[in-house]
Amino acid sequence: MQTKMECPRCHTEIPLDDVNVATDMALCRRCNQTWSFADLQLDGRVQTINAQTPPKGTWLREDHSGTFTVGATTRSWGALFLVPFTCVWAGGSLTGIYGTQIYSGHFNLFFSLFGLPFLIGSICLIGMTLMTIGGRVTVTVNGGEGVIFTGVGAVGWRRRFSWREVKAIRCTERRNGRNYSTVKQITFEGAKRMNFASGLKEARLDFMYAVLRKKWRESGGRA
């Protein structure tokens, strides 16, 4: 357990005598403010990450108006395997099922329906491959509005949220159904729960998490 904690508001050290682990509360006597003990523990773990020196593959862009974008690339060496595998899988299955119908000019309903799982699987596999080649995850906050983007270039999934309604930012885990392992992700908790950045390299995810918690604290986050 972390032995030193600071009040996010006044940065005064909070002694352990003013911490109640059972009720998840820590009291800063200087500003008479209570904080979540668990969240202060999280803050302490990310203080070692310097937002001004982002690790390779991450970035932080901000302007004088307070708008900021923190992001990380999803590029990985896994592309060396996924690219040839996707070409063989998608090319072979789709050509064999649909290509022959197009070439012959004869539509076969049974084979077309039979090929739907292969078609869906190929689309997912192509998307995953593109993410390992040039994908990115970004969070942009402009005033009280925010956007989480996951995709390649300008094509991807955008989720809008209210920055003011974020009650907590945590690093959580989700189960990977393919091999029953767990994958780290960032979670916004509030009016609705939003998970993102799963599968990022640990250093990239930790950087995004640290920046988001710091910005959230600075904007008055108190969970």
What are the start-end ranges of the H helices in the chain? 37-46, 79-94, 100-104, 109-114, 116-134, 202-218
- Give the tens place of pLDDT for each residue, 8-25: 777 788 888 888 888 878
Whether residue 210 is contained in a domain is answered as: no
Would you say residue 186 lies in a domain?
A: no
Among 131, 157, 172, which residue terminates a domain?
131
Helix (H) or strand (E) holding 74: none
> SS3 helix, strand, coil % of the chain, rounded to 5?
40, 30, 30
Structural domain contains residue 41: yes
- Three-class SS state of 99: helix
142 within some domain: no
Report pLDDT for 221: 61
Residue 113 belongs to some domain of the structure: yes
For the chain, the domain total comes to: 2
Structure confidence at residue 146 (pLDDT): 94
174 within domain boundaries: no
Supply the pLDDT for residue 1: 47
Give the end of a domain, one of 131, 151, 167.
131
Closest CA to 209 of 43, 66, 36: 43
**Helix (H), strand (E) at residue 204:** helix 202-218
Domain that residue 99 falls in: 79-131
CA distance 43 to 163: 18
72: β partners: 58, 137
Whether residue 152 contacts residue 126, with contact meaning beta carbons closer than 8 Å, is answered with: no
pTM of the model: 0.73
User: Is residue 104 a part of any domain in this protein?
Assistant: yes
The residue-averaged pLDDT of 47-67 equals 82
Answer whether residue 146 is part of any domain.
no
Reported as a single tens digit per residue, the pLDDT across 77-113 is: 877 787 888 787 777 777 777 777 777 777 777 767 7
